[in-house]
Amino acid sequence: MSIDATLLWAPLAWVGDAWRERVLLRAGADGRWADIAVDTPAPAHASVLAGPALPGMVDAHSHAFQRAFAGLAERREGAHDDFWSWRDGMYRVASRITPAQLQAVAAQLYAELLQGGYTQVCEFHYLQHQPDGSPYGDPLALGLALADAAEHAGIGLTVLPALYERAGFDGTPLSERQQRFRADADFVWTSARRLRSLGRPLLGAGVAIHSLRAAGEAQIRRLQQLAEGDGGPIHIHVAEQMREVDDCLATTGARPIERLAQLVALDARWQLVHATHAQPLEMQAVARAGAGVVLCPGTEANLGDGIVDLPGWTSAGAALSIGSDSQVSRGVAQELQLLEYSQRLSLRRRNVAAEPRAGMASSAERLYSQCLQGGARAAGFEAWGLVGGARADLVVLDPADSALLGLPAVRALDAWVFSGAGTAVRDVMVNARWVVREGAHVQAQATRCAFVAAMQELTPSPACGRGQG
């Protein structure tokens, strides 16, 4: 896609972790910010933005195929429902989806993420093979479907092929339903290198380990060896569920985060996804190593995972980011709201994330700043945000949205996160190209039609009548 140099002027923009007035932004032909100047009059030939401007957020943890399951697991038919019963239902979708269906589902998801304020997504990719576990003619068929979907939507994508070799800490082999997840360290590393070699401007790759439950010590060490000297991110699910903690303790004598630190030398490349059940010493060790933590409040609430110790992680100094994970929520504002509200409910306090002593009296502003920085690391970026050399991504909020209506513009983040439905995103730019205009994705109609067709194939509508309401 061709990119023209763009000169933009914002009455208000989030630059350097604070609102700045009269901001001039120039995007170069390479799709990066060439110049950003504050307190600058608007040139006559500049495009004036319609509202407060924010850097795009990174969605640091996504399973795109699970967008096809969102809304289909909200009934309890038996005596008990938890993460593990949810997983059984999710596997039924995972066992059927084809590359073409995955592309359609992911394209819809990525368009929704853009409308929700994300401009980059980290795809934790463990859906690798045909349903019976045999490889596609192109072993990267499902990864390429994700890349094509992201290119169609216009969002940046970091694909993280995931190591997945077993079903439990005790070495239980993969079940029949898990065969299409099977991937050893060499497959993962080869997939990541091939994705990088495609040369697509918005496509990057790192690697992932599904979990300590799904990967043994030898393969984890093999992947670490292959990635030695590589600067790309390494993600892993860890300590999401108490059953995982208990099983890890029973099998290894250590808690999951503790066990991970025994197996690998954590550093800034490592991103611990969820880390819901972490103890203070584990938090301190993660922060000292420079590793990051990816929180997914919408999914963690939906699955009943538990409430993360946000003050513990922030006090330890860990880098934080957010992710959409199972896609039950797909907007920045919803994730940040749930993150803060879970703390308020747990601690019976307000504005838990705020830190007035550090000049951050706003919970929304502090969380946004923290997750911008942590998300950039999770995606493998050195430069991110409204800063020279970073990719020219931009989110413009709509001052006419009901959440922002009539409020001072400098309270835009507070209002977007805490007083509306998360619908205040008006325009979104990625790589100096507008992909959302006036709240609508530029490919909305075609994307939606393909998604509906895929969903009709994957989830036939139940019969109406008895038992349906």
Give the Cα separation of 245 and 276 in Å (integer).
10
Q: Which residues contact 425 (CB under 8 A, 6 or more apart)?
A: 115, 116, 117, 331, 395, 396, 397, 398, 436, 439
370 CB contacts (<8 Å, ≥6 apart)? 314, 319, 320
> Going by C-beta distance under 8 Å and a sequence separation of 6 or more, which residues neighbour residue 446?
none
Mark whether 274 is an active-site residue: yes
Tokens of 385: 């945000």
Catalytic-role residue among 59, 148, 305, 325 = 325
The CA-atom distances, in angstroms, between 345 and each of 51, 276, 349, 398 are: 33, 16, 7, 30
Angle between helix 141-153 and helix 185-197 axes, rounded to 10 deg: 40
Closest CA relative to residue 32, chosen from 1, 59, 5: 5
30 flagged as catalytic: no
Whether 403 contacts 420, CB under 8 Å:
yes
Angle at Cα 149 formed by Cα 114 and Cα 49, nearest 5°?
25
Which of 63, 274, 277, 441 is flagged as catalytic? 274
Q: How far apart are the first and last CA of the chain?
A: 48
CA distance 436 to 426: 7
Active site residues: 274, 325
